[in-house]
Amino acid sequence: MPKLLDEFSGYDFEELMVDVFRKLGYENPRVHKQGADEGRDIVMEERVDGQTRAVVVECKHRETVSRPVVQKLHSAVTTYDYDGPKRGMVVTSGRFTQPAREYARKVEQNGTGPGIQLIDGKKLREIADRIGLDLYNGRIEILCDQTLQPYEPTAGLDRPLLSAFEPIENLPRSQVEASSRTAEFVPMLRIVASVQATFETSVGVIHRVNETDQFVVRADRHGPTVPARAFQRLVSEHVGEAIQFDESTFERDFDTVEVGRFERTETEYNDWLVDRVRDAHTTTVHYTGGNNVDYSKECRPKQSDVQIRSVTPVYLPQVTQVVSLGEYDHPVEYAAAGAARETITSPARCVHCGEDAGGETYTHCANCGSINCTSHTKTERLEGTPICTGCAVTESFVWSTKYFYDEENLETFETAYEAMPVYRKPMENPPLVAGVVVALLTALLAAGFVFI
Ligand SMILES: [Zn+2]
Ligand SMILES: [Zn+2]
């Protein structure tokens, strides 16, 4: 349900502005309760010439903002407990009255105390355009123009394909050629969050958390979710090497390019992550009270103990290349970050068993194009080459099943078999022949003819 900015509560508007300021590059914007009347402001920091300056912001989601609001903010800035320079800002979705502007200008001109900047609805709409904020429904779309590389440019797209097919037996490299190439760009967020929490009881501090962690969140329609560890690694270790996302370049390299959308607002992803961070740092602490009694207490950081430091959107490319062999299409699928990649689907799997059995040898059947495990791979009797049980024509000779490419090969062999001398025929059943030899040896041993 799209939400009109008009339907926003003052509270929603503040939350929205926190995102706006974060997008604009302010440090650690957060809602701050101030004074006894529990008035809410946004406080944040900005770095100017190496110096950190505090900014106190009053948000008013209303049609007109008059002088007392600006005046009140002015005193809030003055009394804001901060060891360093500070300034004020009033943001409204509406407009400022003339006396309100006058007041702000005078504060600015006096130049003795902190200045006050006014941002009205018109200016806010300009800012919104720049950062991808949809003022109609109050969403901040995450705009992403960075992606990890779908392949390593010096190696090209064939390298991953050839290495994926390398372990497959009976398949000349010349046949490994992609019939289709798809790149899906999956929205991911690299979020840096820090937790600072102190847990106290009557005996003093029993537990302290002071950590900064990095998280990777999958942010498409399946998200927010935590992606597989391998994908987290690709994103967190390579986010610094991200390149400009240029759809037209990728359209030259791939037949299909799919770009996922960041389906939720930054706030939603952040809130989700803050809960995960709190869960991760929740622990039960045992301590002894002043009365010598042992206690245990669950220490769970509060929402306000977790600060989102940065949110970096980036696309993780998932490449699918299909190699068509005979009647079969073999997809090779992987997530990539330049030269680094993580396999999702490998051709080393048996078309008959389904899942890859792991560690086994896989063999290409040149007759039908399938890839098979050892138990589904046989030897073509006439030509002595690998064939799969799926497409082979079979016939039993001396109680042993023989495999053929086709009826023609079977007939050719049948004719040859018929022409074989009688003593050669049992050779068509190696286990039988081996059995006979063992039996013979045993008999000879028993008779004392062989000495070891
Ligand atoms: Zn198999
Ligand atoms: Zn086959």
CA of 378 to the centre of ligand 2 (A): 10
Answer yes or no: is 145 within a domain. Answer: no
110 and 201 part of one domain: no
Q: How many domains does the chain have?
A: 4
H-helix or E-strand containing 164? Answer: helix 158-165
Answer yes or no: is 378 within a domain. Answer: yes
* Number of helices (H), then strands (E), in the chain: 10, 26
Give the pTM.
0.70
14 and 63 part of one domain: yes
CA of 355 to the centre of ligand 1 (A): 9
168 and 310 part of one domain: yes
Of 81, 112, 140, the one marking the end of a domain is 140
* Calpha distance 281→283 (Å, rounded): 6
CA of 201 to the centre of ligand 1 (A): 63
Answer yes or no: is 333 within a domain. Answer: no
Of 109, 140, 171, the one marking the end of a domain is 140
Answer yes or no: is 331 within a domain. Answer: no
79 and 53 part of one domain: yes
Q: Which residue has the tokens 């000879």?
A: 444
CA of 405 to the centre of ligand 2 (A): 8
Q: Is 101 in contact with 118 (CB distance < 8 Å)? A: yes
Answer yes or no: is 121 within a domain. Answer: yes
Q: Where are the beta strands (DSSP E) in 100-174?
A: 116-119, 133-134, 139-140, 146-147, 168-169
Answer yes or no: is 364 within a domain. Answer: yes
232 and 356 part of one domain: no
The domain that contains 126 carries what CATH number?
A: 3.40.1350.10
The range of the structural domain enclosing residue 33 comes to 5-140
Q: What are 163-166's contacts with CB under 8 Å, separation 24+?
A: 164/332, 164/334, 164/343, 164/346, 164/347, 164/348, 165/323, 165/332, 165/347
315 and 304 part of one domain: yes
- From residue 329, give the alpha-carbon distance in Å to each of 14, 205, 255, 360, 370: 53, 63, 16, 21, 8
Answer yes or no: is 116 within a domain. Answer: yes
Backbone angles phi, psi at 70, to 5 degrees: -70, -40
195 and 319 part of one domain: yes
| Two tokens, residue 8 | 């926003």
| Residues around ligand 2, an ion, CB closer than 5 A | 365, 367-368, 370, 388, 390-391
405 and 439 part of one domain: no
List per-residue pLDDT tens for the chain, 452 residues long. Answer: 345 566 667 777 888 888 889 888 898 898 887 665 556 789 999 988 888 999 999 999 888 999 999 999 998 898 888 988 999 999 998 899 999 999 999 988 887 667 899 999 889 888 888 887 777 666 667 778 899 999 998 888 999 999 999 999 999 999 999 999 999 999 999 999 999 999 998 889 999 999 999 999 999 877 799 999 999 999 999 999 999 999 898 999 999 999 998 888 777 888 899 999 999 999 999 999 888 999 999 999 998 899 888 889 999 999 999 999 999 999 999 999 999 999 999 999 898 887 655 667 899 999 999 999 999 999 998 889 999 999 999 988 877 889 999 999 999 988 888 888 878 787 777 665 566 656 666 666 666 655 54
281 and 265 part of one domain: yes
171 and 71 part of one domain: no
129 and 173 part of one domain: no
Of 107, 140, 173, the one marking the end of a domain is 140
372 and 283 part of one domain: no
Answer yes or no: is 65 within a domain. Answer: yes
